[in-house]
Amino acid sequence: MTKEIKRNHLFNPKGDDDVEVRTIIKGATTGLFNLNATKYPWAKSLYQVMIGNFWVPEKISGLKDDARMFHTDLSEEEQKGYKGILSFLIFLDSIQTVNLPHFSDYITSPEVNLILSIQAYQEAIHSQSYATILESVVESKERDEIYYFWRTDSVLLERNKYIGQIYEDFINNPTDETFFRGIVANFLLESIYFYNGFAFFDTLVDRMKMLATGRMIAYIRRDELTHVTIFANIIREIKREFPEIYDEKMILEMMSVAVDQEIAWGKHILGNRIPGINSETTSDYTHWLANNRLAMLNIGPLYPDAVTNTYKHLDRLQDPNSDKGNFFETTVVNYTQSSSMNGSWDF
């Protein structure tokens, strides 16, 4: 698995875009986006969903109320968690915005490249969302401290270095192995690393705190679910088309590291004094989530005892029949522009 992987030509007159010979990677694409002939139906479906999910942070109201609540209603531990988790989320979306084009350069399916371009745009929107939250909620003198929290927090620095180094290794030495490791890292970033942070904000919302921030996070989470699905599908296609590159042992090893890091970070930044979240729930939720994500890759559970989601309030918040669910999710659901996409890419 050390074979060098070749970057796509910008324009290749000798290429062949025919669906019959198209592959997820290592194809001989012309460089043109022929979207009338597509091979991967999941990419077409995701395109519809991702375009329908269009939103901008400036449309979210209520952040002034969050600013007041941050100082009057949040405990010191909750304020620490709020700022520390935002710092990590800012890093994740920042690195994805810059990183995704490096991997797109090796994807030889125009329909998949298209949705990766949309993903990069959405990651940039998420970065702007965090900037909007910081500008509205915390004092100006604290913003740089939050952006660069990793400079003083060794746990966060190690997390950032781990994922960042995997991406750097691929950029500096693009081989089959570093590419696949990078694709798995993308999947883990989108499917594991965000979610204890999301759970923290959801827990605040369940207690009617920081509601505008919660709505913003709900939009971001909705986007991230499509990103998880993109990389799950890319991994499955690699397994089907290039079994010599696919490495399930690597996936399990990297998932184990991601889970351990996520649990350690959750315990470090949240501690045990925030109602609804403690060390035990953080571990149980992350183990359950890891099993759920592995199932997307048709891989059995890494943690057989983790069979239920310990955060029952997450289901309640997303239940349209719940009063809180109506408050928390209605804006998100109604914001979608998917109806405007009727007629695009007929199925």
Please count the residues of the chain: 347
**For residues 120 and 98, what is the distance between their CA atoms, to the nearest angstrom?**
8
- Catalytic residue positions? 130
Looking from the CA of 111 toward its CB, the CA atoms found within 13 Å total 24
Asked if residue 69 lies in contact with residue 262, where contact means CB atoms within 8 angstroms, the answer is: no
Q: Report whether 18 contacts 29 (CB < 8 A).
A: no
23, 109 contact by CB (below 8 A): yes
Whole-angstrom Cα distance, residue 245 to residue 120? 25
Q: Tell me the CA distances in angstroms from 54 to 59, 202, 237, 319, one per residue in order.
A: 11, 22, 27, 22
Q: Which helix or strand (DSSP H or E) is residue 303 part of?
A: none
Token pair, residue 133, equals: 């939250």
3-state SS, residue 256: helix
Residue 338: how many other CB atoms lie within 10 Å:
13
